[in-house]
């Protein structure tokens, strides 16, 4: 059997599956781990709670002025989430050294996560789909990846 470690992720959630075929040749998908990344689900107003530091509502004269200073908190949160996802991928790849690694990561963050991964883990990635399949069910994941698994097992 030609088993793979399938990891699907977006900025808020990561799921890891063991993907292989049965003896009869039918694809089988087993959920190994699911992680919900909490900072992705927090609102910006919940992060910035210092009411004394906020500016009041703008007057009509300076209507275009921002209500608060731009601290790049949202950009920093996204960077930390990408780093956390890369850490999960690295840990999963290390804990399953016998499995080839397949990724399906949201297109907007795919490249940045690949760049964050260490070279050893990046070399183990056999298949990388830049699409968001986190909310996809097992049947849909099998539909996306079964042709790749069949092609790999024929090549070996």
- CATH 3.30.420.40 matches 4-47+70-155: no
Q: What does the pLDDT look like over 122-135, one tens digit per residue? A: 999 999 999 999 99
Res 34 pLDDT > 80 = yes
Of 54-58, 71-75, 152-156, give the range with the top mean pLDDT: 71-75
Can you spell out the DSSP letters for the chain? ---EEEEEE-SSEEEEEEEEE-TTS-EEEEEEEEEE-GGGGS-HHHH---GGGS--PPPSTTTTS-SS----HHHHHHHHHHHHHHHHHHHHHHH-TTSEEEEEE-HHHHHHHHHHS-HHHHHTEEEEE-S--TT--HHHHHHHHHHHHHHHHHH-
pLDDT mean over 102-108:
93
For 9, 20, 127, the CA distances from 147, given in Å and listed in that order, are 20, 12, 12
List all residues 6 or more positions away from 148 whose beta carbon is below 8 Å from its beta carbon: 102, 127
Whole-number pLDDT of residue 27: 85
Is residue 36 within 8 A of residue 13, CB to CB? The reply is yes
Domain ranges across the chain:
4-47+70-155
């Amino acid at each position: 059997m030609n088993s793979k470690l399938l990891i699907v992720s977006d900025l808020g959630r990561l799921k890891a599956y063991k993907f292989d075929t049965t003896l009869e040749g039918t694809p089988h998908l087993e959920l190994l781990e699911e992680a919900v990344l909490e900072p992705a689900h927090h609102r910006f107003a919940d992060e910035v709670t210092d009411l004394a530091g906020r500016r009041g509502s703008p007057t009509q004269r300076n209507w275009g002025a921002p209500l608060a200073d731009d601290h790049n908190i949202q950009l920093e949160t996204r960077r930390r989430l990408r780093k956390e996802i890369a850490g999960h991928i690295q840990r999963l790849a290390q804990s399953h050294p016998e499995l080839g690694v397949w990724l399906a990561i949201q297109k907007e963050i795919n490249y940045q996560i690949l760049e964050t991964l260490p070279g050893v883990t990046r070399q183990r990635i056999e298949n990388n789909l830049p699409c968001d399949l986190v909310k996809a069910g097992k049947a849909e994941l099998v539909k996306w990846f079964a042709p790749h698994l069949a092609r790999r097992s024929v090549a070996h």
